Amino acid sequence: MEMKLPIYALVVFSLLTSFVSADESEFRTATIDLGIVVSNLDTSLKFYTEALGFTATGEFTASKEITRDSGLSAGEELVIKKLSLGKGKGATTIKLMQSAEASKKSAQAHITSSLGFSYLTIHVNSTKTALERLKKAGVKVLAKGPVVLPGGKVALTVVKDPDGNFIEFVGPADHQ
């Protein structure tokens, strides 16, 4: 029996240039890219740039042949928007794509609701600044967040993207 990965669960990893030399590791880089299939590319692009602070860094198209022959889809051309958090070789990169295939959201009541990749963690220098950006973008913080972690110096703030995926911010407890 052949097992197929649903398109909504697609996670695409690709390589970046890195500071790690070929002699030190089998990998060209210590960073990964994360591909996120979204229900609405424009809405998600706005969320990830305006609410989270990512910067659009380009786009590319994966042809029908590439997606079919690699097993990423049944043969659908995908336009992929690249976004980075930070600058330089060690910056985190996510890739947003929208599929015409029938996709469905995973159960995301909590980060433990579904198997697989469940959330992104973004480390911030100021929880207060992150909260201001989220508020300006109209994004609601979940539950009682931000929650100050034991020790009193670090706060955890959790939000959801337009498709219900969890994003957590970890930063100083400076939000009062």
Global model pTM greater than 0.85: no
Question: What residues does each domain of the chain span?
Answer: 7-98, 119-172
Beta-carbon contacts of 26 under 8 Å, excluding residues fewer than 6 positions away, are none
Helix (H) or strand (E) holding 69, with range, is helix 64-70
Q: What is the mean pLDDT of each run of 10 residues along the chain (176 residues)?
A: 35 33 67 91 97 96 92 91 92 93 80 85 95 97 94 95 94 84
Per CATH, is 119-172 categorized as 3.40.718.10? no
> For residue 58, what are the CA distances in angstroms to 28, 30, 39, 83, 94?
21, 21, 20, 7, 11
Which residues on adjacent β-strands are paired with residue 95?
A: 35, 82
